[in-house]
Each structure stands twice: as structure tokens, then as C-alpha cells.
Amino acid sequence: MINILWADDQQELIASIVQILGLNEINFEFTNDGEDALLKIQNKVYDLVLIDLAMPPGRWGGLWLLQKINELKCNVPSIVVSGEGSQAETIKALRLGAVDYVTKENLITELPQQLKRALDNKSQRLASLLSMIKGGETDVVEFKSTLRINLRTGNKDREMEFSVLKTITGFCNSSGGTLLVGVNDEGELLGIDGDLFPDNDKFQLHFWNVFRGAIGSEFSEFVRAGVIEVDNKFVFSVSCLPSNRPVFLKWKFAGQSQYDELFYVRVGPQTELLGIRQAIAYIEDHF
């Protein structure tokens, strides 16, 4: 079943439109303001969000919601619903990442095709992800079973986080790549439940906290991450672009009093640490 969240303060109107359209294969949930919509998005995975631009909070709560979705890096496509006189706001919404827009007067005639187009794009991304998993680990693809839990001991282990961050650093210092958390080395889907977070939002919040602490928020522009549902399990996908400047991993190992600044690159399907001279030569040649 496809799950769509529709955020609009004209609840009776949108409920009647859904009834007229008769989209029985889609489960619609409704909310009347941006703040409640954000809470729902943080606690449940939706295939798509429909966002009314002119709703609470404030005059343009839809723009506020899109901004928050961006800040929290929620991996959910959105279509904005605009009314008369909101052309400038619609342009802002598209710049904030909305995949499409529809005016309220054209909802009945245009919305079905726009939903199909947006959901088809998501299906293509899912097919691409499954193909990536089937292809196994390469110089631009790597799998990690967990983010923080050592599956052998069942306990939290900083080495798990270090392994994830090391891979991201290596991708950014090389040609980029994709890290999938919740997939083991053999390509078996484990999901991220093994990391024992209460929900997907807490998982993502923890990831970005350790990312900022060890790599730096200034490099988040090169990383796109989000939770994706695959075969009834959730996988955390981290897509890394090549950085235009050197990325170092700041890490303090057990027994150390100071942090190390570590420089990693991808060499085939592995992430390798470069020594000082190697790193200097690599940086001079690549940045």
C-alpha cells in the first residue's frame, strides 16, 4: 500500500477530492498544519507528501515545512499545492526541493498524473538500490550491517561508527559513492532495527550528530542520507559526492588523550588510510 501524507488546512476540501479521485491503491493521511506534518514525517515513512503552501504555522507554513524537511534531511519527495497569488512562493518551494506543484483549481485533473510521475521516480530509485545491492561492494558501493551496535556482542561499539565515518570520508576524498547501512557484506538485507533506536528519526539524528562531530557540518553539502524501505525492512542510504576540498576524520581511539586527524581514500572496494606524506601528495594532486 502506498502511503501519502497530505498537509492542508482545508481538510474537508482535500478529503472530498480524494473521494472523487477514487485512488483506492493509496492510503492518504491528513493533517492541517506544518508542525504536525513534520512530527508525522519524523515518526513514519511516507512515499510522498502533499504540502499546501498557505497553511499554519504563519502565512506560508508549507515553505516552513519544506525548510524543516531539508534541515532534518528527511528522504521524502513532496508536491506543493498552490493557490491564487502564490507564484513566488511556488518557485521558492521548488528551490527547496519539491518535485512538482499543482494549483488547487487543477487538483482533480492534474493530481493523478503528478502522483504517478512522482511515485514512478521513487520506484525507479528503489529498483536502482536493489540492483546496487545485488551487484555487491565495489569502489563506489559499500555495505555496513549497523551504525552503532556490534552484532557479535549486542552492545554499542564506537568502532561501528568509526567504520561508517571512515567509508564516508574515503568516498568524499575520492570519486564519491554510496554507503548502505542495514546490509551485510554478503548483500543480505538486515535492516536498521539492529541498531536499537526507537524510530527512524532517532537513527538519523544520531548519524548526523556523529557526522558533525567527526567530519564536520561544513561537509554535509556533499552527503545526502535517508531511510529507504526495501522488502519491509529499512535501509539507511548515504550518498557521497566528491568533495572539492580535503576531508579529514577527527577521531580519538581508546586510550588516547588527543584526537587524530585521519585522511582516507578509496582504493578499489576498500578504504585506506594515507600517511602524512602520501596524504600531502594526494591532496596536492586532487584538490
Mean pLDDT of the chain: 91
Measured between alpha carbons, how far is 195 from 197 in angstroms, rounded to an integer? 6
Residues in the chain: 287
pLDDT recorded at residue 95: 87
Q: Among residues of the chain, what percentage have pLDDT more than 70?
A: 99
In the chain, how long is the greatest CA-to-CA distance? 68
Label residue 85 by pLDDT band (50, 70, 90).
Answer: low
Among residues 211, 200, 267, the alpha carbon closest in space to that of 235 is found at: 200
Highest mean pLDDT among 41-55, 80-94, 179-193: 179-193
Q: What is the DSSP letter of 208?
A: H
Domain 136-286: CATH architecture, name and number where available: 2-Layer Sandwich (3.30)
Measured between alpha carbons, how far is 63 from 95 in angstroms, rounded to an integer? 10
Type of residue numbered 157: D
Listed in order, strand segments (DSSP E) in 104-246 are 141-144, 149-150, 155-156, 177-181, 223-230, 233-240
Rounded alpha-carbon distances, angstroms, from residue 119 to 49, 89, 202, 210, 238:
11, 24, 26, 32, 21
Q: Considering the chain, tell me which residue range(s) the CATH 3.30.950.30 domain(s) occupy.
A: 136-286
Say if pTM beats, i.e. exceeds, 0.95: no
CA R_g for the chain: 21
The yes/no answer on whether domain 2-131 falls in CATH 3.40.50.2300 is yes
Q: Considering the chain, tell me which residue range(s) the CATH 3.40.50.2300 domain(s) occupy.
A: 2-131
Label residue 49 by pLDDT band (50, 70, 90).
Answer: very high
Measured between alpha carbons, how far is 52 from 32 in angstroms, rounded to an integer? 9
147 close to 236: Cβ distance less than 8 angstroms:
yes
CB-based contacts of 216, cutoff 8 Å, min separation 6: 250
User: What average pLDDT does this structure show over 190-195?
Assistant: 96
